[in-house]
Amino acid sequence: MYRPVTLLSISFCALSTLTSHFVRARPCVAFDIQWNLLAFGFDGKDFSAGTQDTWASGSTTDITTSGRPPFDGANTTCYLSQFANAIYVMNGDASNPASVHIYDATAKSWSTQATNTAGFDPTDATAILDHDTNVFYAISKGEMWSLNMDLLKQANSTAIDWLDNKAVEFPTDGYQPVMALAQNHIHFLNVPGSPPGSANIFVIHFSFFQPEPQSYGNFPATHGRAFDIFKNEGVQTEFAFIPDDGSATYIINVERNDTQTLPGPSTKDPLATYFASPSALVQLSPSTNSVTFFPYDPSNQGANSNAAWSPIPALAQRAVAATGGGPGGTAAAASSSSTATSAKGSSATGGATKANQGGEANGSRHLFEMAGLYAVVGLIGMMVVLL
């Protein structure tokens, strides 16, 4: 005589085991202060694509080293500390989401900074890193939190405290924060009740919410990604906003209080993440395994209007390898650009072919796992009926 409850328990265990295989890496991109584009968490490795003038060559340098996080968090995000030339990674380790992982871009080494959360939930927060103070500011559950990173480029031996600064002074029920930094002010877009083309502002140096939204021109009140545009020197004065539908790229200038409307990314991906140097906006699309960029000139709006998003070939190959191949055409597109030389001067064709073969193997494994997943779900259904 069988025991349906026992079989049901076994089925749930099998389902849990199978679904665990579908957890994928969460890569991110960032720039160092020489404006080398760094890609982290690509197939368990990290790479430098060099500066913008070299991207067309298709070369990358493997910068993978010990101490790095697994890049498997639900919302892995990379930040540049411009004064320290360090990359800070939040939510880079699903098993330890409170830690901030630090990549010293000068020494090319990793360390892990422990934090005391004191009620702060890093898995349910959206944060920016202030340029001048090197302090993280994060919104979580209606509160404004901060974490002072000093000028760390290597972790301290003691934990740093997250501080609950104050309640957010605008409606946060159901609000998914869209945040960007400019002039040491945090700009919140798509705040409930605020008009399109405006931002609610938190003045960092005075810990003060401006009472009224600031108008910046014409952009929609919708969810999307906002990211600041670094300058070679000084605090950021512009940030970009790209709605989830990718319909346009909006560049907001907080000194002129105006907005440029530029072409949206060729890849429309609401899960995409972005980073910007003084002369390039970079999109990383996890849904299509693509890395593209938009050449940006802060002094030439005409050139910006005529520019277009283009792939960064070497990182596109790495992204395909990281996710085991992409939707139809993605792996082929990477292969077609793989004749460029690698960082060591050899042909990258073999690397791209290996990545594509890895994608086929991973695809087969995913099909097998999916078949098993459906079988287990079917078994659970049968047990529920029998019960």
Cβ–Cβ < 8 Å for 41, 76: yes
pLDDT score at 341: 29
CA 100/CA 104 separation, integer angstroms = 13
Rg (alpha carbons) of the chain, rounded to whole number: 22
Q: Name the band, by pLDDT with cuts 50, 70 and 90, for residue 314.
A: confident
Q: Name the band, by pLDDT with cuts 50, 70 and 90, for residue 308.
A: very high
Taking only the tens place, the pLDDT of each residue in 31-62 is: 999 999 999 998 889 999 999 999 988 889 99
Between the alpha carbon of residue 141 and those of residues 99, 126, 174, 194, 354, the distances in Å are: 19, 10, 10, 20, 45
Q: Whose CA is closest to 283, among 307, 260, 306, 266?
A: 266
The pair of structure tokens assigned to 73 is: 């968090």
CATH of domain 4-386: 2.120.10.80
The helix/strand count (H/E) of the chain reads as 5, 27
Of 323 and 79, more confident:
79
Bridge pairing between strands 115-116 and 160-161: parallel
CA 75/CA 92 separation, integer angstroms = 8
Domain spans, the chain: 4-386
> If you average pLDDT over every residue of the chain, what do you get?
82
pLDDT score at 316: 73
- Residue at 34: amino acid letter: Q
- Residue at 366: amino acid letter: H
Q: Name the band, by pLDDT with cuts 50, 70 and 90, for residue 366.
A: very low
- Verdict on whether the full-model pTM lies above 0.75: yes
Helix (H) or strand (E) segment spanning residue 249: strand 248-253
Which strands, in side-by-side order, build the sheet including 248-253? 224-229, 238-243, 248-253, 258-263
Is the four-CA dihedral 264, 265, 270, 271 of positive or negative sign? Answer: negative
pLDDT score at 25: 66
Cβ–Cβ < 8 Å for 101, 85: no
Q: Whose CA is closest to 226, among 204, 206, 211, 241?
A: 241
Q: What is the mean pLDDT of residues 204-220?
A: 96
CA 30/CA 26 separation, integer angstroms = 14
Between the alpha carbon of residue 100 and those of residues 95, 162, 250, the distances in Å are: 12, 12, 30
CA 124/CA 105 separation, integer angstroms = 28
CA 78/CA 40 separation, integer angstroms = 9
Taking only the tens place, the pLDDT of each residue in 11-20 is: 444 444 333 3
